[in-house]
Structure 1
Amino acid sequence: MRIVLDESKCSSLGMCESVAPEVFEVGDDGALSVLNPTPPEDQRALMEEAVAACPTNALSIED
């Protein structure tokens, strides 16, 4: 599983960070970072929740 961020769509609202702060972080510069782009499979449900929480559809999961 790989988390993909489309930076052109991301507004750095932090919805994903609120769901999974160990994977996503909005930095001091206001830009979103994916801290762990390949989280373990046992976190799939949490990653799906984070992707669904994104109001700009900037996140996706690739297998």
Structure 2
Amino acid sequence: MWVTADRESCISGGRCMAATSEVFDQDDEGLVVVLTPRPAPDQEERARKAAFLCPARAIQIDAGPPAG
């Protein structure tokens, strides 16, 4: 699993961080920061929940590494 976030889409809701602070944080402006792009197996379910809960849909979950 690979986790990425579109910081330009982020609206600083903080739900991602609340779902799994091991994978997500917020910077000084309140925008999402991905701490762990490849979550451990025991963190994957919470990372998926964070993506689901994001009101801006700024979090992407992919099977492989991001392109580019």
Is TM-score (shorter-chain normalized) higher than 0.5? yes
Q: How many residues are aligned here?
A: 63
Give the share of equivalent positions with the same residue, in percent: 35
**Which residue matches 1:57?**
57
Cα deviations by residue, 1:31-63 (Å, 9 ceiling, x for unpaired):
221111111233221111111010010111011
Whole-Å separation in 1 of the counterparts to 2:22 and 2:4: 16
Query: For structure 1, which runs of at least 5 residues remain unmatched after alignment?
Result: none
Paired letter, 1:54? C
Query: For structure 2, which runs of at least 5 residues remain unmatched after alignment?
Result: 64-68
Q: Go from structure 1 to structure 2 and tell me whether the alpha carbon gap of 1:8 and 1:27 turns closer, same or farther (over 3 Å shift).
A: closer
The answer as to whether partners of 2:20 and 2:43 remain within 8 angstroms in 1 is no
Q: TM-score, normalised by structure 2?
A: 0.80
Q: TM-score, normalised by structure 1?
A: 0.86
Paired letter, 1:30? G
